[in-house]
Structure 1
């Protein structure tokens, strides 16, 4: 009897061990990853608007910058304006959560940390007119909108022109908000939410100069002072009441290729 029990237990243990060996296992590997000094945007499930994120290039997809959340590399803190080269532990999950990525990352070493200073974004010397701006594939299309124009009073206060009386912060802190208005029913919606279609830059077409400037957009749009520099803002303040000027932004992706042209007005109160 004892021998039968022992034999049964051995068969059971071996059976459990065999089943365990057959279960899929997480794949862990040390890889190298580059992190850009520039940020991008990514669409997140449950969020109406794309959110700002890091742009990374890894051994998983060499030659391609991809979005990755700021807190997606355990033990690593990203600083804007820094360019990194990292050694990270990549884990490909055998059973990832249904609403999450199948990959996780944790920092092993920072191999390089370089500060990239960009006081101004240079425009390609070949771009001297709007016609010189090359558009990305399938663009322009109606993805973004500037929902309101602006009113400026003689004291430099900036208001929305929607009649609400709502004002923006100070000139130095005001932002020109870009709204993502693309219909989610568009057959290319998923594609258009990827990095090549994110508005990272804006080419500024000003009514006061033929020069085309390139500015960096933040997470929600360019700063007002970058689009309308101090000398132009002063000229707007000196205009007659009711006068208005028209600006245009040609939104561009991380490769500085055009996405869409947007226009807005600035009116003197």
Structure 2
């Protein structure tokens, strides 16, 4: 085997090992703070396992036009009170490797910006 072929093979192996050791940002959770609005009214959504209608709170992310109905437990650390509308600052974590039987986004209350009782 000639010297040039050996050097080429060794360079290819080194390049392969360096590429496999590089960091991959896709394997890290993405964390950001977002503003979420919670309606004083509730809605219903379809529960996935049994397809039953379930009551939940209506939320809208900052800039979104439509309300989305989610579980009352969707935002960790937040307790919904009927008849109140809220502006919340939450930590949104998009999981890089979510469990197979769960969502890939988690919300955690950072602080209640405002709360207003609607009569």
Q: Same fold (TM over 0.5)?
A: yes
Aligned residue number for residue 41 of structure 2: 38
- The 5 Å alignment of 1:1-269 reads 18-19=21-22, 21-22=23-24, 24=26, 25-59=28-62, 62-117=64-119
What's the offset of the Cα at 1:23? 5.2
Deviations 1:91-139 (A, max 9, x none): 111122223222100011100000111xxxxxxxxxxxxxxxxxxxxxx
Q: Secondary structure at the match of 2:21?
A: helix
Aligned residue number for residue 189 of structure 1: none
Q: Secondary structure at the match of 1:99?
A: coil
Aligned residue number for residue 5 of structure 2: none
Aligned residue number for residue 9 of structure 2: none
Distance of aligned partners of 1:17 and 1:89 in 2 relative to their CA distance in 1, 3 Å threshold: farther
What's the offset of the Cα at 1:58? 0.5
Looking at both structures, which has the greater relative contact order when contacts are Cα pairs under 8 Å and sequence separation is at least 6? 2
Deviations 1:76-97 (A, max 9, x none): 1001111000000001111222
> What is the CA RMSD across the aligned residues, in angstroms?
2.2
What's the offset of the Cα at 1:63? 0.8
Deviations 1:220-267 (A, max 9, x none): xxxxxxxxxxxxxxxxxxxxxxxxxxxxxxxxxxxxxxxxxxxxxxxx
Distance of aligned partners of 1:114 and 1:98 in 2 relative to their CA distance in 1, 3 Å threshold: same
TM-score, normalised with respect to structure 2: 0.77
Q: Is there any run of 5+ residues in structure 1 with no aligned partner, and where? A: 1-10, 118-269
Q: Is there any run of 5+ residues in structure 2 with no aligned partner, and where? A: 1-13
What's the offset of the Cα at 1:15? 5.2
Distance of aligned partners of 1:16 and 1:45 in 2 relative to their CA distance in 1, 3 Å threshold: same
Higher strand share: 2
Paired with 1:107 and 1:17, the residues of 2 have a C-alpha distance of: 38
